[in-house]
Structure 1
Amino acid sequence: MCGAPPRAPRCTAAGAPCPGCGAWSARVHGSYVRFPADVPSGGRSVVLRLRVRRFTCRNAECGRRTFVEQIPGLTRRHGQRTERLCSTLAAIGLALAGRAGARLANIFGAPVSRSTVLRLVDALPEPEVPAPRVLGVDEYATRKGRYYGTVLVDVETRRPVDLLPDRESSSLAAWLAQRPGIEVVCRDRAPFFAEGAAVGAPQAVQVADRWRLWHNLSEAAERSIAQHRQCLRVLVPETPGTPETESDPAEESSGSPRPTSHRFADRTRTMHVTIHDLVKAGHSRRAIQRQLGNDKPNRQTVRGRRQAGRPLHRPVAGPDLGPRQVQDIP
């Protein structure tokens, strides 16, 4: 014959403060049993059986008539888990995020959903991030081409510090004005970042980031080599017995600061000649488009090649050619 179940443990405190007004009360209104989940033991789920008391608030002006006592470090209001289990799941969520964290929690005996893991992580207080000494400023896109924001990174620790909802100079200046300890601002060449850094942190030195320096250097070297590639051929020694190769007229007439693709130029000339031969044979634009086979140019391309006296190269841009100009291929 089974005996009566053991009595649930209870708190031995004489009373509890009201969470609404803070008044101390020792007048018990009633009690009930709570079953908060605790940290698993040996891969098995652990559930506590705890009897808590409900006290009556003695303050007549308080909006709460009754309240339930909470055990510090163990329970919280409306909580189904102990503080230890919540801290453990939050640490797992910080390391693995929601879906992977929920799978790991199920393995060691604390079944939980990925939404709960993310909710526990979101409930954590914001960590105190020290003001960086070297700040990196760049833009990010929530929708590329339309909506942009500003990302702020601690260059020394390589960790993000904050995200601004836009890339206006006023937002950056207001953020920098609250952190006077910034000594260096590493940014790109955007004018709004330069203005915001100058207004918000006039004591800081503005420098270009490493990627921009290497990128600008590579572009300048590419333009210089493209403009002086004829001079580089003189430096190449001629091999005995090998006839000297003739220079490509397309390269000599090209004033583009960027290298020209010979394969694209040959394909353009071939298409130009083919289209003009088909036009002389009396074919329409639609028939020419069908007969070109794998190239499959659209009707506008066929019309442009048909009206052009010489094959046209793709538009190029550069400091020597202007914003966009069409370059001829002989």
Structure 2
Amino acid sequence: MDADDEAVRIEARSEITDVVCSACGSVGTRVHSTYWRRLADRPLGGRRVVLSLHVRRFFCDNTACCRRTFVEQIDLLTRRHARRTQTVGRMLQAIGLAMGARAGARLAPRLGLRTTRAAILRQLRLLPDPPIGTIRVLGVDEFAFRKGRTYGTVLVDVETGRPVDLLPDRAADSLAAWLTEHPGVEIVCRDRNSAFSEATKRAAPNAIQVADRWHLLHSLARAVERTAHAHRPRLRKSISYHPLPPPAAGGLASQDLRYLPLTCTPTLQRDRHEMWATAVFKERHHRMGWPERGSRR
């Protein structure tokens, strides 16, 4: 054991007698080689802890096993290809679940842990998926792995707002298979994709299909826009333009703006801006006591 102001270094050796192959479960008896493995452990007194573990590599005598050699693992301490102990891994998972990867990577050095946001994300991917359970109201929508090329399907529990699963594509067969494996869906909230409708009718025929609010408003806005564009010549003719009266001597009156149309063409909008700018210019000159343009002293 060695310690300085920055880190504590500990050397240890495994004394396990029966080392089991993680692939086939057979016990290894012949040692292939040994090497030193460096692991980061949880900090001690504000200093980093580096664990140097002397481990053995064994031959796997099972001819049917896919591995020829394997390295001994210590329960509750090491894991294959890991550079930190399982305790540190659980700490990073807790930080990532509470704060996210970016904020967790900024907090970890304050706690004596060296990590990156990519490492926190890798630790989060090791966590098992939470149980889905029975979903009564299911939200179905598509998302893009790569926009314009590859799309998938996201499934959301509408009542809790929690994503429950991701499907690799947006085909009807994938959604139908998922609905068959998870019965109990009473309402399916989806967009206007025909594949989702077909899958729901096939796997959950008793479920009520409704359109979600966003797609309803989006479709309504597009319909109104197309209708207004088709009748644009009539809308232009129906606009009546009333010129502004001359501004009062005391300045621009706010009630004069009532003569301006609410909806106007680009030409009327430009005239409106010019009249407003002229009125403001005259009001500023009146307040400063400057003479009007073209007047003589």
- Pairs within 5 Å for 1:64-143: 64=67, 66-141=69-144
CA-atom RMSD, angstroms?
A: 4.1
Opposite residue 203 of structure 2, the aligned amino acid is G
TM-superposed CA distance for 1:60, in Å, is 5.5
SS state of the match for residue 42, structure 2? strand
**Does the aligned pair in 2 maintain the 1:8–1:33 contact within 8 Å?**
no
The separation in 2 between residues aligned to 1:131 and 1:186, in whole angstroms, is 16
- Pairs within 5 Å for 1:215-254: 215=217, 250=238
Opposite residue 99 of structure 1, the aligned amino acid is R
- Pairs within 5 Å for 1:257-272: 262-265=261-264, 267-268=266-267
Which of 184, 206, 231 is the matching residue for 2:187? Answer: 184
Aligned length: 234
The separation in 2 between residues aligned to 1:181 and 1:64, in whole angstroms, is 44
The separation in 1 between residues aligned to 2:63 and 2:139, in whole angstroms, is 56
The separation in 2 between residues aligned to 1:72 and 1:172, in whole angstroms, is 40
The separation in 2 between residues aligned to 1:38 and 1:133, in whole angstroms, is 44
TM-superposed CA distance for 1:87, in Å, is 1.9
Moved more, 38-47 or 97-106: 97-106
The separation in 2 between residues aligned to 1:200 and 1:153, in whole angstroms, is 17
TM-score (norm 1): 0.57
Residue in structure 2 matched with residue 198 of structure 1 by the alignment: 201
Change (3 A) 1:27 1:15: farther
Change (3 A) 1:201 1:269: same
TM-superposed CA distance for 1:143, in Å, is 6.6
SS state of the match for residue 99, structure 2? helix
Opposite residue 188 of structure 2, the aligned amino acid is V
Change (3 A) 1:8 1:171: closer
Change (3 A) 1:196 1:268: farther
**Does the aligned pair in 2 maintain the 1:38–1:45 contact within 8 Å?**
yes
TM-superposed CA distance for 1:270, in Å, is 9.0
Moved more, 88-97 or 144-153: 144-153
The separation in 1 between residues aligned to 2:102 and 2:269, in whole angstroms, is 56
The separation in 1 between residues aligned to 2:207 and 2:66, in whole angstroms, is 52
The separation in 2 between residues aligned to 1:173 and 1:137, in whole angstroms, is 12
**Does the aligned pair in 2 maintain the 1:20–1:62 contact within 8 Å?**
yes
**Does the aligned pair in 2 maintain the 1:37–1:47 contact within 8 Å?**
yes
The separation in 2 between residues aligned to 1:63 and 1:152, in whole angstroms, is 37
**Unmatched 5+ stretches in structure 1:** 1-5, 223-248, 253-260, 275-293, 295-330
The separation in 1 between residues aligned to 2:103 and 2:18, in whole angstroms, is 42
The separation in 2 between residues aligned to 1:167 and 1:27, in whole angstroms, is 51
Deviations 1:254-282 (A, max 9, x none): xxxxxxx94444655799xx9xxxxxxxx
**Unmatched 5+ stretches in structure 2:** 1-8, 225-236, 241-259, 275-297
Percent identity for Structure 1 against Structure 2: 52
Change (3 A) 1:160 1:58: closer
